[in-house]
């Protein structure tokens, strides 16, 4: 059982230990870190045939791949690991566990560097990776945070929206939903954890998108802004995300005084025909705005500047537009959103 207060989840005192589950891993937590402080799971994961079947069922892009090919895709997505900050104040009793997709070595380093200020207020750890076939990196991060003296742990999902499979897998791991988005990994339900909401259409998200549009702008009245998102796989989640993005668009339109602002999702992990349809729709919008004499500016609500931006540039190559490829993570206001979210949940 869990309880919801002000849209944040506080866990009951139940510990569902799935170590004896046939799909669970026996991996031990790492004792040492690399030279940068990152901690990787050191023992080889044992994956059952059931896990591969679940992935094929839940992720359209993996449907026709064999086990070896799926493991190759997992490797390309990067490892599941955790990366803590040194404790700044021996009296710190609260912690921030930041869950993120992982953005490649360069992107992860930029993310880590941008979160330094969080560690001034809270014991802080990043847990990175897709969590598709394990939750052990999250479990180990929680264990180390407690050893560091934390009495309350605020889990922050680093995502543009709750309406995607990665956040849904994290919610499953923390016992907030019964259905897994990827595979049935170990579920954790500690009583010292508060799971916070993603940034979604928070006021700070609106301000960041506006800032990125204004960085490109020279004459707002003659400019049209496209807000582009990675987007979820499913139709219902996509509709919900577009509603959140419309709130961003209204704010940018009204406060930036732009001619028009329109949100779009790529649904980047959806079947090719769905993604292609979205790209075609966005292209048509850009072309129409250009024919109407408007300068087109493109921004996004992507977390990292090192994600699908290259694919976006390829998708719209040859069209007349300017793209601010920055992600939310390195904007100064993003860490303020994290601190505000924790502070508001402590009241």
Residue pair 248/263 in contact by the 8 Å Cβ criterion? yes
Q: What is the pTM of this model?
A: 0.89
pLDDT digits (tens, 9 = 90+) for 297-327: 999 999 999 889 999 999 999 999 999 999 9
Rounded to the nearest 10°, the torsion over CA 312, 233, 129, 154 is 110
CA pair distance 82, 145, nearest whole angstrom: 11
Walk across the sheet containing 193-195 and list its strands: 2-5, 8-11, 193-195, 152-157, 94-100, 123-128, 81-84, 38-40
Cα–Cα distance measured from residue 293 to residue 233, given in angstroms and rounded to the nearest whole number: 34
- pLDDT bin (cut points 50, 70, 90) of residue 43 is low
Q: Sheet holding 223-229: strands in order across?
A: 260-265, 223-229, 295-300, 322-323
- Beta bridge partners, 281, equal none
Going by C-alpha positions, the residue among 199, 154, 193, 198 that lies closest to residue 10 is 193
Confidence of residue 41 (pLDDT cuts 50, 70, 90): confident
Tell me the domains of the chain and their CATH numbers.
Answer: 2-199+332-346 (no CATH), 203-323 (3.40.50)
CB atoms inside a 10 Å sphere around CB 254: 12
Query: Which stretches of 244-294 are assigned E, i.e. beta strand?
Result: 260-265
Tens-place pLDDT, residues 155-167? 999 999 999 999 9
**pLDDT of amino acid 18:** 42
DSSP string, 52-77: HHHHHHH-GGGTT--HHHHHHHHHHH
Reported residue count of the chain is: 347
pLDDT of res. 215 = 98
> What is the C-alpha separation between 181 and 167, in angstroms, rounded?
9
């Amino acid at each position: 059982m869990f309880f919801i207060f002000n849209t944040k989840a506080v866990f009951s005192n139940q510990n569902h230990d799935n170590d004896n589950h046939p799909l669970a891993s026996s991996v031990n937590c790492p004792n040492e870190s690399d030279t940068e402080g990152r901690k990787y799971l050191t023992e080889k994961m044992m994956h059952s045939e059931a896990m591969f079947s679940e992935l094929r069922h839940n992720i359209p892009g993996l449907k026709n791949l064999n086990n070896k090919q799926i493991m190759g895709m997992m490797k390309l997505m990067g490892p599941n690991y955790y990366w803590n900050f040194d404790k700044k104040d021996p009296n710190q009793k609260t912690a921030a566990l930041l869950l993120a997709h992982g953005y490649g070595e360069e992107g992860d380093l930029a993310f880590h560097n941008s979160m330094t200020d969080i560690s001034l207020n809270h014991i802080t750890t990043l847990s990175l990776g897709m969590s598709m076939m394990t939750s052990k990196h999250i479990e180990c991060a929680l264990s180390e945070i407690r050893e560091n003296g934390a009495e309350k742990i605020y889990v922050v999902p680093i995502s543009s929206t709750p309406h995607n499979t990665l956040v849904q897998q994290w919610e499953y791991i923390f016992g907030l939903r019964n259905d897994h988005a990827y595979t049935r990994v170990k579920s954790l339900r500690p009583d010292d954890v508060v799971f916070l909401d993603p940034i979604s259409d928070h006021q700070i998200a609106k301000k960041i998108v506006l800032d990125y549009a204004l960085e490109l702008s020279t004459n707002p009245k003659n400019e049209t802004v496209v807000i582009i998102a990675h987007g979820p796989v499913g139709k219902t989640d996509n509709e919900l995300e577009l509603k959140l993005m419309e709130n961003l668009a209204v704010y940018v339109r009204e406060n930036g005084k732009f001619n028009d602002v329109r949100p779009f999702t790529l649904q980047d992990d959806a079947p090719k025909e769905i993604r292609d349809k979205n790209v075609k729709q966005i292209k048509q919008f850009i072309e129409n705005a250009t024919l109407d004499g408007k300068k087109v500016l493109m921004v996004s609500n992507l977390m990292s500047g090192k994600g699908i931006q290259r694919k976006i540039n390829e998708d719209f190559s040859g069209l007349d537009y300017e793209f601010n490829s920055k992600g939310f993570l390195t904007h100064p206001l993003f860490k303020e959103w994290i601190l505000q979210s924790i502070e508001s949940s402590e009241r």
